[in-house]
A and B are shown apart, each in its own frame.
Chain A
């Protein structure tokens, strides 16, 4: 299994440009998440999904959109990039609670996408 994969690894955007951060997982996990990581701030949840066709906002959703058309993929869309969106973005996935005792609520993270908006 490749686990959770993210593309691209690094991207520079100009203010106002748009882009999609890709995330895929091959573990058949129902739950998927997008976080952003800013220095000294830990990880903040942007959006999450509990299954195909179902998404919901996290703590910091403004300026972002997501979709979940399949179990495997969970892309994050930035429509009008702003300098405040400069960050490292992590995608994660986890199995349904209680259905995988050995995984026990664990989230599995991708390697991250570093985004710089200038």
Chain B
């Protein structure tokens, strides 16, 4: 069975600083990987996804993530954060042969301070 671990439950960072949100997964088959963002009192919105091809994936709002198969990781990065990036970020994995079933990590709360 697949599982997703987000190592940091909270990440405080100052505005304009770089940030990395960590995600590790376990699966015995090939996977699709996703990052979703949840702004306060809203639903989840897709940030970016890895299905195949280039391991560096660019998403919305200046975020990017790199798929590392050997380390089973899919860390999310942004070179310079804004106050508006304050939100909860969820990493999720879908096994390629399991339809669209997603397994979510516990989430990381990004807190951007002025």
A residues with CB within 8 A of B: 4, 31, 40-45, 48, 50, 90, 92, 94, 97, 104-112
Residues of chain B within 8 A of A43, CB atoms compared:
44, 90, 102, 104
In the assembly, what is the distance between CA of A85 and CA of B66, in Å?
36
What is the interface size of chain B, counting residues whose CB is below 8 A from a CB of the partner? 23
Most chain B CB within a 10 A radius of its CB, from A43, A44, A48, A109: A43
Most chain A CB within a 10 A radius of its CB, from B34, B100, B106: B100
A/B pair count, beta carbons within 8 Å:
53
Residues of chain B within 8 A of A107, CB atoms compared:
46, 100, 102
The answer to whether B9 touches A40, judged by C-beta atoms less than 8 angstroms apart, is: yes
Give the Cβ gap from A92 to chain B, nearest Cβ, in Å. 8
In the assembly, what is the distance between CA of A111 and CA of B41, in Å?
8
The answer to whether A111 touches B43, judged by C-beta atoms less than 8 angstroms apart, is: yes
Flag whether B114 is at the interface (Cβ < 8 A).
no
The answer to whether A42 touches B44, judged by C-beta atoms less than 8 angstroms apart, is: no
Residues of chain A within 8 A of B107, CB atoms compared:
40, 42
A40-B9, A40-B107, A104-B49 are known contacts. Are A109 and B43 too (CB-CB below 8 A)? yes
